[in-house]
Structure 1
Amino acid sequence: MGEKTKRSAVLVQTLATMSIASLASLNGFVYAWPSYTYEIFTTNKTVLEAQMSSTDISLLGSLTNIGGLMGTPICALLIDRIGRKYSAMLFGLPYVISWTIISFTKSINLVLFSIWFAGFGAGGQAITSVYISEISQDSIRGALTSSTVSGFFIGLLFSYFLGGQLTYYRVVYVHLAMSVLYILLLMLIKESPVFLALKRREQEAAESLAFYRRVKVNSKLVGEELRKIKMQLDPRLDKILQAEEDPASAKELLEEPATEPRKEPSWKFLLRSESSKGALFAVIFCLAVTIFMGALALQVYAEPLFKEAVPTMHPNLCSILLAVDYLAAALVCASVIDRFGRKRLMTVTAIACGMFNILLGSQLQYHWAPHWFTAFIIYAYSFVYNLGVAVVPFVLTAEVFLPEVRGLCSSISMVCMWILNFVLLVTFNPIVEYVGLGSTFYFFAIISFVGGIYSQFWLPETKGLSVDAIQPLFMKKKK
């Protein structure tokens, strides 16, 4: 908590974070691209061999999610085998390959294949938060790990802007160039010191810490942080936590850490670790609440709602303004999350989202306010949502797990996210047809309030804490 962070270290960690988080921007490109190519692909303006059918358009918008779901288990296998850096570079390749194919082909099937294959890159998103959290100092970890969400919105906004300014092929070439640039940027930064220590490459771990902290390899700061990492990898740590032994034991452990890291498989350690299972439950619960608050469904209906509320505004401009709204909220979140903490931000924004859901539901059901008020609610809800509840679960994913299970648990969380997104999109239209659009948002409001209550009373505060200090917070306290 009293940790001093040099300005040069903040700069290097920030630049490295921006490079790593660019993977999320590449994902934003893929998600934005179908929205402004729809008119090209479905009319006689098409650059392909034929016009796309309604089925093709549906696949164009959804195949990325299938690729992401399939790519996430691969991420879990690679992240602890070849490292954070090389895994991140590897998951940039699907984007390079996909945009290369799209730039040459006129085949509808190859375009759909490319969008599906790009989803494998999206499946590597768990790497970015893990990598960033392991190179960041505790005092700025929240702000830096939240940049993965900002990176996605930057990609979304940049792609929307390109779509309104450049021709089809020039947009594709820019996306391809940015994908190549992402891989080149990662070559300039160091591997995670936590991964290097996990592989017993202590000298390289010390060099990595020196690079990110902007100090000499033999400095006191590097020695202290390396000792802290080794303590987190100590096979006795979890046993001490679960036994709830005297605090003096933890102090002795810190002073004389074991030299041998754990060798058991990650899944076995997860099954026996009470703190890891508690942290995983908290992360998945927060993710589930975040998804079922209705933001994804609101995006589905955003265009028709905007057409009704502001019919004089072009749909592309509405999309750009919505992306700006998302990005502004994410940037504000990055600036305040280490000041106000995860718990408070999650609680306040969840309750606020519940109130906005009630306002939107009643407006859609009774039309008690002018149409422009509908647009105001959408923008206000989107800002509040991305200010807290959309970001906090990803920050928690990056910081609450011990190094031994960080890759595995992050990947499990991402798999749950893909599945829950799919469940929401599959069930949304039938629910709307049965109870109506307005009443559906009342359900989202209930979920939002549940999320706020859970956060206030059961979600631990992890602001500024090291991972070993976080573990006891997720363990059941004995009477």
Structure 2
Amino acid sequence: MYEEKLKKSAFGIQLLATICISFLAVQTGLVCGWPSYTVEMFQSNETILTRPMSSIDISLLGGLPNIGGLVTSPFCGYVFNKIGRKYATILFGLPYLINWIIILLCNSVPFILIAAVIAGIGIAGQNVSLIYISEISHDSIRGGLTAFSASGYFLGILISYILGGYLSYYNVVYTCLALCILCMICLALLKESPVYLLLIGKEKEAANSIAFYNQVEVKSKTVEKEIKKLKIQMDPRLEKILDGNIDLETTEELMDSMLGDMIVTTKESPWKLFLKSKSSKRALSTVLMVIALTVAMGSVILQVYAEKLFKEAVPSMSPNTCAIILAVDFLVASFICVLIIDKFGRKNLLLVTSALSGICTVLLGAQLQKQWAPHWVTAALIYLYSFIYTVGCAVIPFVLAAEVYLPEVRSFCNGISMAFVWAVTFITLFIFNPVAEAIGLAPVFYCFSFICFLGTLYAHLRVPETKGLSADEIQALFLKR
């Protein structure tokens, strides 16, 4: 509605704030990458633990963060609404800190597994913290900055693999602990989201926050227009106007004249507000379907089987080297996503990467079944698929979950979305082995390919383009579906 050109200084401060928030995603990468190079030592007779880990212990070490995240995710939205985006983001840095302290001080298997559960709580909060980035970003760069969190995660994975390859066990833990403390210090330097400040009625503080993130004077027209825009998005009358059969220009005139003059507060819970909002329900159903399709495209499974496939494809290379190359592959792809998502849009990027991922999984299935090419082609296809998937399918669901909801229900709906990510990921991992044993690994990849093409069709028919749009304009798109 308000087309304010983004100043270079504003871009710089928003990028810097995004880097600080994405530093929390680096902690997720450090935690998720850590088991890959420690399990061999944990299982050996030379383990530093009180006893070697059993195969069940190893499975729990990899799976318990999912349990912690799944249980915690539905409550993350409440915490972000209760204490604010900034302090909730800092709060969810504590589980990572506790995780590393337990690992540093304890050497019994049960305590290591407890640390894994606690780390999952941090991961759940880190996923929801994307709304913080979304709410401080200019509409023209919101997608790229939100997607930057994925780059933070893959950077954490890469750092973790490198640390594991060159440092001792305790030096790795000390380094991760120091990075976690640095992350929380950086987060403490940021200003609160203006959206949250308006939601709790602190208009003066919201104006200061807008001025900070846009690098303008508090009494400038930019701050005045942004405050009015946010008030319009929070006004309960908004959806009635958007739902009317009125052209866009007339709708904007009505909103300018009727809404945004004051903050309309409500004591209703986000759940009740969600039930009343047709656009929010449609937005949530769209995000959940995109999550289900993208998770089921096989990336999670491929990562589980990557080491086995790499050993067969390139036996001359060490598993750690292959893992580092894969992490670099993910990181470069995520950076490309950051650069192009606001140019090409969410819908087009999801559509194209889904289709290309489908082609890659077909070729992988055929290679596993027919061995139609040399073994190194298997490794090349894994890297290619991982790259393509990360450019779009891996990131866009999280971007959509952070930007498509109304401010009053954003934390609530985002929490549901992230809990759904955990649930679908768990189901996918749980059913994979029985299905693979029943029909074989190659047909499973054909199934992944079918889901990729189904995702392409769904993106074309049901996913609206949200690049550069404000929250009220996005609601209008969902109401017209």
* TM-score, structure 1 normalization: 0.98
Residue 201 of structure 1 corresponds to which residue in structure 2?
202
Residue 117 of structure 1 corresponds to which residue in structure 2?
118
Q: Per-residue deviation at 1:121?
A: 0.4
Structure 2: where are the runs of 5+ without partners?
none
Deviates more, 1:370-379 or 1:273-282: 273-282
Query: Does residue 370 of structure 2 align to residue 366 of structure 1?
Result: yes
Q: SS where residue 219 of structure 2 aligns?
A: coil
Q: Is the 8 A contact 1:198 1:261 kept in 2?
A: no
Q: Per-residue deviation at 1:242?
A: 2.8
Residue 11 of structure 1 corresponds to which residue in structure 2?
12
Residue 36 of structure 1 corresponds to which residue in structure 2?
37
Amino acid at match of 2:424: L
- Among 253, 256, 259, the alignment partner of 2:255 is 253
- Cα distance in structure 2, aligned partners of 1:131 and 1:261: 22
- 1:25-54 per-position Cα deviation (integer Å, ceiling 9, x unaligned): 111111111110012111122111111111
Q: Is the 8 A contact 1:283 1:397 kept in 2?
A: yes
- Give the share of equivalent positions with the same residue, in percent: 52
Amino acid at match of 2:432: F
Structure 1: where are the runs of 5+ without partners?
none
Query: Does residue 452 of structure 2 align to residue 453 of structure 1?
Result: no
Query: Does residue 408 of structure 2 align to residue 404 of structure 1?
Result: yes
Q: Per-residue deviation at 1:268?
A: 1.0
Residue 182 of structure 1 corresponds to which residue in structure 2?
183
- Among 370, 391, 397, the alignment partner of 2:395 is 391
Residue 313 of structure 1 corresponds to which residue in structure 2?
317
Amino acid at match of 2:303: Q
Q: Is the 8 A contact 1:75 1:126 kept in 2?
A: no
- Cα distance in structure 1, aligned partners of 2:456 and 2:141: 25
Q: Is the 8 A contact 1:240 1:250 kept in 2?
A: no
Q: Is the 8 A contact 1:194 1:205 kept in 2?
A: yes
Computed over aligned residues only, the root mean square deviation of the Cα atoms, in angstroms, reads: 1.2
Q: SS where residue 460 of structure 1 aligns?
A: coil
Residue 303 of structure 1 corresponds to which residue in structure 2?
307
- Cα distance in structure 1, aligned partners of 2:314 and 2:412: 45
Query: Does residue 295 of structure 2 align to residue 285 of structure 1?
Result: no
**Which residues of 2 match residues 28-427 of structure 1 at below 5 A?**
28-245=29-246, 248=250, 250-255=252-257, 256-263=259-266, 264-427=268-431
Q: Is the 8 A contact 1:87 1:127 kept in 2?
A: no
Amino acid at match of 1:204: E
Query: Does residue 439 of structure 2 align to residue 438 of structure 1?
Result: no
- Cα distance in structure 1, aligned partners of 2:479 and 2:260: 22
Q: SS where residue 192 of structure 2 aligns?
A: coil
Deviates more, 1:411-420 or 1:450-459: 450-459
Q: Per-residue deviation at 1:258?
A: 4.3
Q: Per-residue deviation at 1:476?
A: 4.1
Q: Per-residue deviation at 1:6?
A: 1.0
Amino acid at match of 2:224: G
Q: Per-residue deviation at 1:253?
A: 2.4
Amino acid at match of 2:254: E
Q: Per-residue deviation at 1:127?
A: 2.9
Q: Per-residue deviation at 1:129?
A: 1.1
Q: Is the 8 A contact 1:134 1:194 kept in 2?
A: yes
Q: Per-residue deviation at 1:245?
A: 4.8
Q: Is the 8 A contact 2:95 2:121 kept in 1?
A: yes
- Cα distance in structure 1, aligned partners of 2:440 and 2:312: 17
Q: Is the 8 A contact 2:242 2:251 kept in 1?
A: no
Q: 1:152 to 1:432 in 2, by over 3 A?
A: same
- Cα distance in structure 1, aligned partners of 2:402 and 2:253: 25
Q: Per-residue deviation at 1:252?
A: 3.0
Q: Is the 8 A contact 1:242 1:274 kept in 2?
A: no
- Cα distance in structure 2, aligned partners of 1:283 and 1:353: 19
**Aligned length in residues:** 477
Q: Per-residue deviation at 1:139?
A: 0.8
Q: 1:2 to 1:229 in 2, by over 3 A?
A: closer
Q: Per-residue deviation at 1:179?
A: 1.1
- Cα distance in structure 2, aligned partners of 1:371 and 1:353: 20
Q: Per-residue deviation at 1:269?
A: 1.4
Amino acid at match of 2:181: V
Q: Is the 8 A contact 1:326 1:386 kept in 2?
A: yes
Q: Is the 8 A contact 2:4 2:222 kept in 1?
A: no
Q: Per-residue deviation at 1:18?
A: 0.7
Amino acid at match of 1:257: G
Amino acid at match of 1:152: Y
- Cα distance in structure 2, aligned partners of 1:146 and 1:363: 32
Q: Per-residue deviation at 1:250?
A: 4.2
- Cα distance in structure 1, aligned partners of 2:396 and 2:119: 26
- Cα distance in structure 1, aligned partners of 2:263 and 2:305: 54
Amino acid at match of 1:471: Q
Q: Is the 8 A contact 2:288 2:420 kept in 1?
A: yes
- Cα distance in structure 2, aligned partners of 1:431 and 1:114: 31
